[in-house]
A and B are shown apart, each in its own frame.
Chain A
């Protein structure tokens, strides 16, 4: 075994500096030429590890204070760092560095799910931006996904939401500002998956379109803010008492010829006759249909 091989064996067991020390202490007695080679190799190894440390730090991996034993442990860190950079560059392009506002059909299909949906920029929808935006998507907890990414879904300037969540797997939908949703909201929540809509901000302009909640048979919790001034049919949904109260509370006091349609079963589960009569008496300008 030559000096270099001996040194490498020492390094495996005790680290390269320790190996060099053992050689210099006479554990192995090199001649002049062999000593030069030994020192050269030790220097080269140190230079290489220093270079690796600097490269790792450049790619966002902590490495400067690590010993030579760190290399195998850092391989996973390097791989993960590379993945994150790739993901970031994807969203830069897909969202045009946050400038895109046309999100129509942007997340169609179940390949968009809680794992793959990781937007980098806030989503500010334009006029048509809501049309089928999450049509048939696989995202289950949209609210959670947005919070995890630290981005917001801003719908205030959007007027069209046709089929926005239609046939999606989305159970939890965050706050949606439908203040200007005056063009179309048909089939917006037409999915059997949705359970909770955190809040709908409604205005006199909001068009709660035909079949907005078609087949939303799992929807139990919904909260409104603002005013509901146009027909709203949510009879597919087994709404909680709080949800029914929220809807009725926000019905316009001045609208005429409008109808609220609720699930008969949901109403009967939530209210006794007297309480119900008192409740709808607060909105005599609304027809209330139980289907």
Chain B
């Protein structure tokens, strides 16, 4: 039997480990939920905007 660890962000929050972002994350084998923390939706959008500016 195999299990898949799923972590869920609270309303208005986004989960991240610095590389992966999501409201609901199905962790691959070997990954730990302890590597993830929550940021707000606004912080997530700001990160996206910053990356776009850097790319441009």
Contact = CB atoms under 8 A, between A and B. Distances in A.
Interface of A: 186-187, 210-211, 214, 235, 256-259, 261, 264, 277, 280-281, 284-291
A187 B24 contact: no
25 contacts: A210-B51, A210-B55, A211-B55, A235-B22, A256-B28, A256-B30, A259-B20, A261-B20, A264-B22, A281-B2, A281-B4, A284-B2, A284-B28, A284-B29, A285-B28, A287-B26, A289-B15, A289-B20, A289-B21, A289-B22, A289-B26, A290-B23, A290-B24, A291-B21, A291-B23
Nearest to A289: B22
Interface in B1-53: 2, 4, 14-15, 19-31, 51-52
A277 B22 contact: no
A264 B23 contact: yes
B4 A277 contact: yes
Nearest to A209: B55
A289 B28 contact: no
The 10 A-B pairs with the shortest beta carbon distances in the complex, nearest first, are A289-B22, A290-B24, A288-B26, A287-B28, A291-B22, A289-B25, A259-B20, A284-B29, A286-B28, A289-B20
Given A211-B51, A287-B26, 7 more contacts: A187-B55, A235-B22, A256-B30, A259-B20, A281-B2, A286-B28, A290-B25
Contacts of A186: 55
A239 to B, nearest CB: 15
Contacts of B24: 264, 289-290
A187 B52 CA distance: 10
Interface of B: 2, 4, 14-15, 19-31, 51-52, 55
A187 B15 CA distance: 23
B29 A285 contact: yes
B23 A287 contact: no
A257 B27 CA distance: 10
B55 A261 contact: no
A214 B27 CA distance: 23
B6 to A, nearest CB: 9
A261 B28 contact: no
Contacts of B52: 211, 214
Contacts of B4: 277, 280-281, 284
Contacts of A257: 28
Contacts of B21: 261, 289, 291
A131 to B, nearest CB: 13
Nearest to A233: B21
Given A261-B20, A261-B22, A277-B4, A287 B51 contact: no
Given A277-B4, A284-B2, A290 B22 contact: yes
A50 B49 CA distance: 71
Contacts of B19: 259
B53 to A, nearest CB: 12
A265 to B, nearest CB: 10
A207 to B, nearest CB: 14
Contacts of A284: 2, 4, 28-29
Nearest to A255: B28
B54 to A, nearest CB: 10
